[in-house]
Amino acid sequence: MEKKTQHNNILLATLCFAAVVIIVGVIGFLTFGRTPDTIQGEVEVSEYRVSSKVPGRILELRVQEGDYVKVGDTLAILDAPDIVAKKTQAVSAEDAAAALSAMADKGARREQVQGAFEVWQQAKAGMDIAEKSYGRVQRLFDEGVMSAQKRDEAYANYKAMKAQAQAAKSQYDMAVAGARREEREAAAAQKRRAQGAVQEVDSYMKETVQIAQMEGEVSDVYPKLGELVGAGSPIMSISIMNDQWGTFNVREDQLKGLKIGDTFTAYCPAFNKDIRMKVYYIKDEGSYAVWKATKSNGQYDLKTFEVKARPVDKIDGLRPGMSLVIKDR
């Protein structure tokens, strides 16, 4: 009996010890076993690519990676001989169109008017002679001395000389009056078209000298000196360093406190300090970034959202690619 009681006491003590161990383990797991989740992101900046509308060969690179440029700085110069040839053609066409337009506006020169007048006078004199000759031949025909054929030839000659005199008179009148309104308008339109062609080529010529459109840092230079670049091909990238933000990929169950307009603190290892940031953008990252459930006991899939936030205060030295960490989520 005594042995049985002793055995029961030992069993009871063992069960109590095991229960205490289990309880302590559960409490330890609930209180100490869980480590706070962290969300890691990185600094990003706006960027634009420098490219030309015309193909050409890199003649000069005025900047290199890491240089800071301001608006109006020359970045690169391209050699585009085809554009130079087109400029010569366009200027020549413009000069010709301008000369024709000026001629149409001013009318014929004095020498041309005088020449047309002299041609008319000569044709008129010829007509007068032909008319007198026809008159004499007609009288001889009436007297029976001249044949009908000779009379007809004299009449035909008179009619031809009369038509020639009238044509010469018309040419003289046109020279005095100048070009018609339609001709002047056509000449003016041709001149404007030639001017437009020159302006188009000038715009292409400007593309051979690439100028910085925004202030920033040269992050990448793609071609080397002497290489050919196609129309629209990037020559270099400029990072706009005063337009910075942090990008985080956040699981939807960690979005608390990260609504648009919310502020939070992110740790920056590069400076070993916290940075206050303000959320301005949230976007669903899509099905490729879904956290799949691995158990069937009440768990569910979770989506990932892209969250962007800007520093509340300007941070000197903050650069793209630096890590940002949100702790205790």
Per-residue pLDDT, 211: 94
Per-residue pLDDT, 153: 79
Per-residue pLDDT, 268: 94
Nearest-5° Cα angle at 268, 281 to 264: 45
Q: Give CA separation, 62 vs 71, 81, 134, 203, 324, in Å.
A: 14, 20, 88, 21, 34
Instruction: Return d(Cα 76, Cα 51) in angstroms, integer.
Output: 10
Average pLDDT for consecutive 10-residue bins of the chain (329 residues)? 55 58 56 64 94 91 95 93 75 72 61 77 85 85 81 81 83 67 69 79 86 94 92 93 93 88 94 94 72 59 89 92 86
Beta-bridge partner residues of 284: 305
Per-residue pLDDT, 262: 93
Q: Is 272 helix (H, G, I), strand (E, B) or coil?
A: coil
Q: Is 39 helix (H, G, I), strand (E, B) or coil?
A: strand
Instruction: Return d(Cα 174, Cα 237) in angstroms, integer.
Output: 63
The conformation of residue 291, written as its DSSP 8-state character, comes to B
Query: For 187-318, where are the E strands, in sequence order?
Result: 209-211, 216-221, 228-229, 234-251, 263-268, 273-284, 304-311
Identify the CA nearest to 308 among candidates 266, 260, 269. 260
Instruction: Return d(Cα 208, Cα 60) in angstroms, integer.
Output: 10
Q: What backbone phi and psi angles, to 5 degrees, belong to 154?
A: -65, -40
Contact 219, 44 (CB under 8 A): no
Q: Is 41 helix (H, G, I), strand (E, B) or coil?
A: strand
Amino acid present at 145 = V
H or E segment to which residue 312 belongs: none
Contact 68, 217 (CB under 8 A): yes
